[in-house]
A and B are shown apart, each in its own frame.
Chain A
Amino acid sequence: MDQQDTKPHRWGMAIDLDRCTGCEACVAACHAENNLPLSTPDSAAKGRAFHWIRIDRYYEGAFPDIKVKFMPVLCQQCDEAPCEPVCPVYATYHNAEGLNVQVYNRCVGTRYCANNCPYSVRFFNWFEPVWPEPLTLQLNPDVFVRPVGVMEKCTFCSQRIKRAELEAKQESRSLRDGEVQPACVQSCPAEAMVFGDLNDPASRVSRLAQSGRATRFMEDLGTQPKVFYLKRGE
């Protein structure tokens, strides 16, 4: 139970909404990194496109005096995740590092977790995924290709976390702040996203999470997300 005390990491993210330009580089990077099934105009029209991270747009004012605000939405890695208790087979559960993980092999596809996610960040494999040649050549060997019938979602690039942790262990040192970067964070040209350890009070993400500009999405639901959105007070 007290694994969190022995395991030092508690991964979190900060996203600066004032910096986000809505360019969707994070979306593209995520697709490439995580072997997301191909999302085509056709699958999007059918409501079956996969985007572990997406840019929600909010329009303020009326045309032509309109202001668009962008908000990257990904799995919020809730500490009190509504998706977890409803899974009948523990395919979604909390790991020792506070990540809300999805065990593809265990998933039987009840889709209850997706219904209960207030952020709508879960995606279901309606079909066996196929990639036209030569796209199969760019599949990431570090990431599982999900079969038909299972749920999937953002993992905070757990493969990158794992790799960094192993490298640090081999070199007998602790992880440096900023050493782990999920694909979305790495690719953000505006540097709007920061990833790191919330248990380390000196980490950038911890300091940003403490700032007066930080809020959490739908915090009133009691989900305790680990993604912090930064924005200017109005």
Chain B
Amino acid sequence: MATVAEIPDPRVRTELWRPLSRAGSRYWIAVTLCAVIVAAGLAAWGYQIAKGLGIAGYRRPVFWAFYEADFVFWIGISHAGTLISAILRLTHAGWRKPVTRAAEAITVFALMIGAILPLIHLGRVWLFYWLIPYPNTRLLWPNFRSPLLWDLTAIFTYLIASSLYLYLPLIPDLAQLATRSRGWQRNLYRLLALKWVGSDRQWHALERAMKLMAAIVLAIAVSVHTVVAWDFAMAIVPMWHSTIFGPYFVVGAIFSGIAALVIVMASLRRFLHLESYLRPLHFDNLGKLLLLMSLLWIYFTVAEHLTIWYGKQPAEYSVFESRIYGDFAPYFWSMVILNFVVPFMLLSIRRLRSIRTVTICAVTVLIGMWIERFLIVVNALSRPRLASAWGAYSPTWVEITITAASFVTMTLLYLLFARLFPVIAVWEYEDVAHG
């Protein structure tokens, strides 16, 4: 693309490597602040392990709440990398170059966070390994009929695949960095670069591996969020037991994934001064993708709720009722505004589509999608079939701290990543042997 070829090689290297060698005091303040909040989250978790889940706001019948909503949210965010970068890579979209690595890193970090949340939600986390199929003297195996087992399998597959997918395109950059840096960083880069010298054979192998991984990761990503949806849809809980939950969740995941990517890109552009790489064009294109996903999301949301309303099955309708004009209506309608009304108005009018508006929409979408997960989990559970068991849930400081810490963990991991690795693939700007 003309937009990227304009920047000469040496300038690319200087600009993209600059964050790796220098970090101002503002950076370290940010890292410290993040670390403190993450530590607070871990402390809250420790307290919860010591005292019992009761210090969180759970109650019968709301046996799942914040942690499960957070879990679905973070697994959803992880779709940023794979789907955006894999689709764009497979379709040879030239504008993807400065976007892909930022996205792939989100995937890996979001999955790490997402994979921890089910542990936080366990009543007896110290026995979590009973969920893993390992040979043992008691000949006890986990129950493969349980969607939670499918979930565990899917998420670990995805974590491994997406880590590889982030790592592969990093290799040429790592080899270059190894020649440039000193001390422990040099050793780290050299170790990770796997003796990359940039021979034709190596380039060829890398290209093939990346293409293959893109295809594999794409398939896994779709299946992972379908399986996450099945954690709910396989249950006979009213408003969970829905056949469209699989695709509905995948759409929601890609939607929130793009939003997360936009926010990360806007921050990188601002703080790392990457204005000449992350250009209005990229935000414009991602804005269009965000708009498309917003339309798909509202389509699924309407399809899901219209059928419930029309059918008026008592068990489902009582959940529907509380969602549309009952206790949960404020959440539902703010979700619709944040996920559809705002993005639709700001993104469908070309004149209004700018870096600022796309970023604003990304923020509203992230909030809206978190509310969506909260509604799916808590709203449905608070109205079980028997009215005698109905109950209202409200979180305590424990869930709130841990949820906040999950967001800050993302920030912290990204801060460290951007300090150690170039957030944009440098080699993709150089007309060397690749391609």
A85's partner among B54, B63, B140, B146 (CB-CB below 8 A) is B146
Chain A residues with Cβ below 8 Å from B391 are 47
Whether the pair B122, A126 counts as a contact (CB closer than 8 A) is: no
Chain B residues with Cβ below 8 Å from A115 are 61, 63-64, 235, 237, 381
Interface residues of B in 117-152 (CB under 8 A from A): 121-125, 127-128, 130-131, 140-143, 145-149, 152
A17 at the A/B interface (Cβ < 8 Å)? Answer: no
Per-residue CB proximity of B34-64 to A under 8 Å, as 1/0? 0000000000000000011110001111111
B114 at the A/B interface (Cβ < 8 Å)? Answer: no
Known: A47-B391, A88-B143, A90-B143. A218 touches B123 (CB 8 A): no
Chain B residues with Cβ below 8 Å from A89 are 130-131, 140, 142-143
Known: A109-B123, A109-B124, A126-B58. A73 touches B51 (CB 8 A): no
Chain B residues with Cβ below 8 Å from A116 are 235-237
Chain A residues with Cβ below 8 Å from B235 are 82, 86, 112, 115-116
Chain B residues with Cβ below 8 Å from A73 are 386, 388
Whether the pair A114, B63 counts as a contact (CB closer than 8 A) is: yes
B131's partner among A88, A128, A148 (CB-CB below 8 A) is A88
Whether the pair B149, A124 counts as a contact (CB closer than 8 A) is: no
Known: A57-B388, A88-B131, A88-B148. A124 touches B124 (CB 8 A): no
Whether the pair A82, B124 counts as a contact (CB closer than 8 A) is: no
Whether the pair A88, B54 counts as a contact (CB closer than 8 A) is: no
Chain A residues with Cβ below 8 Å from B148 are 86, 88, 110, 112
Chain B residues with Cβ below 8 Å from A110 are 121-123, 148
Chain A residues with Cβ below 8 Å from B130 are 89, 106, 108
Give the distance in Å from the alpha carbon of A115 to the alpha carbon of B239 in the complex.
12
A148 to chain B: closest residue by CB: B52
Interface residues of A in 103-155 (CB under 8 A from B): 106-112, 114-116, 118-120, 123-128, 148-151
Chain B residues with Cβ below 8 Å from A109 are 53, 122-124
Per-residue CB proximity of B373-410 to A under 8 Å, as 1/0? 00000000100111011010000000000000000000
Interface residues of B in 92-133 (CB under 8 A from A): 121-125, 127-128, 130-131
Known: A106-B130, A111-B123, A126-B54. A47 touches B143 (CB 8 A): no
Interface residues of B in 234-293 (CB under 8 A from A): 234-237
Known: A116-B236, A120-B386, A126-B52. A47 touches B59 (CB 8 A): yes
Give the distance in Å from the alpha carbon of A46 to the alpha carbon of B55 in the complex.
11
Whether the pair A107, B54 counts as a contact (CB closer than 8 A) is: no
Main secondary structure of the interface of A (DSSP, over half): loop
Whether the pair A108, B61 counts as a contact (CB closer than 8 A) is: no
Per-residue CB proximity of B62-93 to A under 8 Å, as 1/0? 11100000000000000000000000000000
Whether the pair B143, A85 counts as a contact (CB closer than 8 A) is: yes
Q: Which of A82, A86, A107 has the most CB of B within 10 A?
A: A86
In the assembled complex, the CB of A136 is this many whole angstroms from the nearest CB of chain B, namely 19
B52's partner among A87, A107, A128 (CB-CB below 8 A) is A128
Whether the pair A108, B124 counts as a contact (CB closer than 8 A) is: yes
Interface residues of A in 50-91 (CB under 8 A from B): 54, 56-57, 73, 82, 85-90
Chain B residues with Cβ below 8 Å from A120 are 60-61, 384-386, 388-389
In the assembled complex, the CB of A12 is this many whole angstroms from the nearest CB of chain B, namely 21
In the assembled complex, the CB of B118 is this many whole angstroms from the nearest CB of chain A, namely 8
Chain A residues with Cβ below 8 Å from B127 are 108
Give the distance in Å from the alpha carbon of A90 to the alpha carbon of B52 in the complex.
22
B49 to chain A: closest residue by CB: A149
B146 to chain A: closest residue by CB: A88
A128 to chain B: closest residue by CB: B52
Chain A residues with Cβ below 8 Å from B121 are 110
- A residues adjacent to B (C-beta < 8 A): 46-48, 54, 56-57, 73, 82, 85-90, 106-112, 114-116, 118-120, 123-128, 148-151, 218, 221
Can you give 10 contacting A-B residue pairs, CB < 8 Å? A73-B388, A82-B236, A85-B146, A88-B146, A89-B131, A109-B122, A111-B123, A112-B147, A124-B60, A124-B63
Given contacts A88-B143, A89-B131, A148-B124, 7 further A-B pairs with CB under 8 A are A73-B388, A89-B140, A90-B141, A110-B122, A120-B61, A149-B53, A150-B124
- Which 10 A-B residue pairs are closest in the complex by CB-CB distance? A109-B123, A126-B54, A47-B59, A149-B123, A120-B389, A149-B124, A111-B63, A88-B146, A88-B148, A148-B52
